Structure 1
Amino acid sequence: MTPPLPDLPALLARRAHLSAEGTTAFRAAHTTETGGVFALDLLGDAAVLSLYADLTAEEEARLAAACGALPGVAGVYLKRRPVEARHAANVAREWLSPPEPVWGEARPEVVALERGVPFLLRPGADLSTGLFTDARLLRGWVRDHAPVGGRVLNTFAYTCGFGLNAALGGAEVVKNVDLSRKALAWGQENYALSGLPAPDPDFLYGDVFEWLRRLAKREDAFDLVILDPPSFARGKSGVWRAERDYGTLVTLAAAVTAPGGRLLAVTNHAGVTARTFERLVTAGLAEAGRPGRPGAGLGAGEDYPGATHLKAQVWALG
């Protein structure tokens, strides 16, 4: 038996200031506000309903209709997110993320805003729709603190939200690295929406670890390096686990961070505490022989009340 639905209009009203500030992609209801049953993201006029509990078809339909009744919602897309979703994604993709809306009109593509910056989003494409709304404050920090006229390396770039904000903030050179050609091409579309050039040499396809080694060998250096890896991934070099391997990533990143440059270290691993995360980064810098001073700590925005999964810290390197 599912708990009673929370007052969705009241929750949405708490976020009313976001659209007034030029943000139309945000979390309308977080799991801490729904008893852990679901979360709801609004992406322009599309709603994305993420389920974290097993519901009957009737319960899913009732919840989707309640989301569709919110002002401005044209269509509702469903994402089922069981604990094993990351392992099932390749074999049960259409069940986890139905490509068609479960309520209302189809919105295969929408353009939504974040602090006035447009992003192309695809609500039915996959479990990930093109923008992780919990990282809004982090992208804002990059835009506000980008090295004007300097160089930025955005690793695990996905659709290049960090890189785009660095370019908008005045960085002269921004390199985006990702293992997905499709994601990088999507990032180039995001650049185009803001009227920015997106030459292919700035979008580096391939394994981030290999690219970090290659850039270090070239003696490339960046004024800001952004590390936002997944918590868990399988690749050619084996299994990546943030709680075990983050320090190694930091060591490689330090080798391409210019003296006096900054490192934005990010993790979305709920099982890694802020203290443990700082220890991992410290150990990685020590292995690289680079002194580092921790600065601003960042996390999810106010539309994620009680969220502890996202941790980010800015490090100044000597």
Structure 2
Amino acid sequence: MQDVSQLRSLLARRAHLGAQGTTIYRAAHTTETGGSFTLDLAGDAGILSLYASLRPEEERALAAACGEAAGLGAVYLKRRPVEARHEANVAREWLSPPEPVWGAARAEVTALEGGVPFVIRPGADLSTGLFTDARPARAYVRDTAPARVLNTFAYTCGFGLMARLGGAEVVKNVDLSRKVLAWGQENYALSALSAPETDFLYGDVFEWLVRLRKRQEPFDLVILDPPSFARGRSGVWRSEKDYARLSALAASVTAPGGRVLALLNHAGVSEAALERMVAAGLAQAGRAGRLDRHLAAGEDYPGARHLKVQVWTLD
């Protein structure tokens, strides 16, 4: 287990991020902690994720070390056993205690990514408001945003927000949760961006893709950021089996010359496998396309291989 001096050494490697206007990032990754834990910072709050079983006193000691090393006001605990996705609905408070394990409680904090503010709720759930490993992909969207963008599996609308800040005229955010779409609207408001309710589409992504295809509403960029596993009205989603079907639907609403940004957070699926699935989906939709670019997790994820990000351009 890392001591305070070791944690401070890791934090020093990320010190330049703050100078770049980023106060939400991974301070310690599993490749730096022997796979036992990660530490994410969001403003003055820390999110300590455990991948190994510790006794309660060990959890508190590690949280204290993290808080002291980073000069935090609070550290929240997330327990992430292998079976966490199955336990999330029956052991939610054990997996993600709503109160900090160290320090004083704060219901939410405002943290910055490249100067852009986001609402983070460190004690709300296993997911606290922003997936920090996708920061380079969000920067790419902001830097290259075209006129019309469709952001699927939008969560708190980070990609949609970056597209609007990048100059996109129309951005549609789709998610199955009204709660996270409302959270996304809060993020928009923090950047003084107004958007009609029709830019936040509640419902099943697959159903919305079919609906948008029927409306003949093409987009210049379609962002796919699905979970690795989920249950919805369309049935059970498993990314390793179903990504081709998703990319086919995405292709059906992508304008000629438009792009598909395909993300997948799944350590068990290789870059090559994702490429094959996206290509198969394009073929199913009768579209030709090429893989133009690979992106990866940020520098605060050294050695990480879980996240795949591919930029496809369609003819």
Q: State yes or no: 1:169 paired with 2:160.
A: no
Letter of the 1:29 partner, please give it.
Answer: A
Query: 1:181 corresponds to which residue?
Result: 178
CA offset digits 1:191-241 (Å, max 9, x no partner): 000000022110000000000000000001000000000000011222100
Letter of the 2:234 partner, please give it.
Answer: S
Query: 1:111 corresponds to which residue?
Result: 110
Q: State yes or no: 1:222 paired with 2:210.
A: no
For 1:192 and 1:31, how far apart are their aligned partners in 2? Answer: 34
Query: 1:235 corresponds to which residue?
Result: 232
- Percent identity over paired residues: 74
Shift of 1:58: 1.3
Q: State yes or no: 1:137 paired with 2:136.
A: yes
Q: 1:5, 1:34 within 8 Å by CA — same for their partners in 2? A: no
Query: 1:81 corresponds to which residue?
Result: 80
Query: 1:288 corresponds to which residue?
Result: 285
Shift of 1:108: 1.0
Letter of the 2:95 partner, please give it.
Answer: L
Mark the CA change 1:151 to 1:54 in structure 2 (over 3 Å): closer, same or farther: same
Query: 2:121 corresponds to which residue?
Result: 122
Shift of 1:4: 5.0
Residue 125 of structure 1 aligns to a residue whose secondary structure is coil
Letter of the 1:212 partner, please give it.
Answer: L
TM-score (norm 2): 0.98
RMSD: 0.8
CA offset digits 1:109-139 (Å, max 9, x no partner): 0000000000000000000000000100000
Letter of the 2:86 partner, please give it.
Answer: H
Letter of the 2:243 partner, please give it.
Answer: Y
Residue 307 of structure 1 aligns to a residue whose secondary structure is coil
For 1:269 and 1:238, how far apart are their aligned partners in 2? Answer: 19
CA offset digits 1:163-196 (Å, max 9, x no partner): 0000000000000000000000000000000000
Flag structure 2 segments of 5+ consecutive residues without an equivalent.
none
Alignment of 1:164-313 (within 5 A): 164-313=161-310
For 2:63 and 2:74, how far apart are their aligned partners in 1? Answer: 9
Shift of 1:5: 4.1
For 1:111 and 1:144, how far apart are their aligned partners in 2? Answer: 23
For 1:66 and 1:151, how far apart are their aligned partners in 2? Answer: 46
The number of equivalent residue pairs is 314
Flag structure 1 segments of 5+ consecutive residues without an equivalent.
none
Q: State yes or no: 1:54 paired with 2:53.
A: yes
Letter of the 2:67 partner, please give it.
Answer: G
Query: 1:18 corresponds to which residue?
Result: 17
Shift of 1:105: 1.0
Residue 77 of structure 1 aligns to a residue whose secondary structure is strand
Letter of the 1:21 partner, please give it.
Answer: Q
Q: 2:204, 2:234 within 8 Å by CA — same for their partners in 1? A: no
